[in-house]
Structure 1
Amino acid sequence: MTIDDLIDAVIDREGGYTDHPADRGGPTRWGITEATARADGWNGDMRGFPRDRAATIYRRRYWHRPRIDTLWPRAPRLAAELFDTAVNMGPPVAIAFLQRALNALNRGAADYPDIAADGRLGPATLAALDGFLARRGAGGEEVLLKAIEALQGERYVTLAERRPANEAFLYGWLANRIG
């Protein structure tokens, strides 16, 4: 699997043009909101927003800029999950999930020091991940994924509880974004 495969999967899952009345993001195409497309210089109707431009945005804004690409050599399944979560919830949220899970799994800082859950993927987070994987081995990545998906699921339910219009999306979020 490559980043191109991950991007294709996101675009396929997001589908073409939508403008759901309950979606605060407004018109989207390929999962890219109108605001994101405009920030990238797109001035046309979202119905015509090109797939290759969406792929470029995904690569730049959700893979390289938040440094999720640095996770790939260490834990590719984790990188794939965080990429998808970053697309759906924003990179800082996805990375904070990783940081919170690493802190909760470090056995009271016995395995590696606690890190700030600041939503930025820097040297301290990478060192904590390396420490976790060294301590827990190949099975550790699976446990870490479960912890991140639990945090993600809790956030989806909370979003639906706080804003009833989000209930329109909860089933799809849980079915398509977790696991």
Structure 2
Amino acid sequence: MSSFDDAFVSLMGNEGGYSNNPADPGGETMWGITARVARANGYMGDMRLLPQSVAKQIAKMVYWDPYYCDQFDPRVAFQVFDAAYNGGKPATWLQTAAGVEVDGHIGPVTIAAVNRSDARQIVMRFLAYRLKYLGDLPTWPSFGHGWANRIAGNLIKGAA
């Protein structure tokens, strides 16, 4: 199994099935894929019927490949992938965790700096910046408990 395949399986443990919570700015989702992202990537059917295999294809194209996750230790790759999928600023958090200039775009300098660093330290720093960001969102009262649990689970995965 590839690093992406493993990451997707873990991601499904964080995402689950269908949701249409009116408090969620992402709106209607299935397997964590929003209707907006599904439509932008060619899926026009009922979101409740979105096959997980289609969600996986979209996840690779939209949330894995653009962040160069194949270039990182699988523990780091999963964190970036999970954060991109869940929303936020994964490129910024990764650059900050690696101590490089923050421009919000992952490129050769960021990749090299991350790969020169201890993966566990990158994971811990990355998740700290992610949690600080989430804690400042106006939706924290509605979703903060779930986000904190997600990050706690990710810390456990990252320490492995």
TM-score, normalising length from structure 2?
A: 0.87
Name 2:28's counterpart in structure 1: 27
Matches of 1:17 and 1:147 in 2, distance apart? 31
Amino acid at match of 1:79: A
- 1:95, 1:121 within 8 Å by CA — same for their partners in 2? yes
1:122-141 residue pairs with structure 2 within 5 A?
122-130=107-115, 132-133=116-117, 140-141=118-119
Amino acid at match of 1:155: Y
Taking structure 1 as reference, are residues 16 and 95 closer, same or farther at Cα in structure 2, changes over 3 Å only?
Answer: same
Q: 1:171 aligns with which of 132, 135, 145?
A: 145
1:6-85 residue pairs with structure 2 within 5 A?
6-71=7-72, 75-85=73-83
Name 1:102's counterpart in structure 2: 98
Amino acid at match of 1:44: G
- 2:69, 2:80 within 8 Å by CA — same for their partners in 1? yes
Amino acid at match of 1:168: S
- 1:68, 1:82 within 8 Å by CA — same for their partners in 2? yes
Report SS of the residue matched to 2:57.
helix
1:146-165 residue pairs with structure 2 within 5 A?
146-159=124-137, 163=138, 165=139
Report SS of the residue matched to 2:136.
helix
| Identical pairs, percent | 36
- 2:84, 2:90 within 8 Å by CA — same for their partners in 1? yes
Name 2:158's counterpart in structure 1: none
In the alignment, structure 2 segments of 5+ residues that lack a partner are: 156-160
1:144 maps onto 2:122 in alignment = yes
- 1:22, 1:166 within 8 Å by CA — same for their partners in 2? no
Matches of 1:43 and 1:126 in 2, distance apart? 35
Amino acid at match of 1:127: A
Higher relative contact order (CA 8 A, sep 6+): 2
4+ residue segments displaced more than 6 Å? none
Matches of 1:64 and 1:123 in 2, distance apart? 14
User: Shift in Å at residue 87 of structure 1?
Assistant: 1.1
Matches of 1:154 and 1:31 in 2, distance apart? 22
Matches of 1:143 and 1:98 in 2, distance apart? 11
Aligned length: 152
Report SS of the residue matched to 2:25.
coil
In the alignment, structure 1 segments of 5+ residues that lack a partner are: 104-114, 134-139
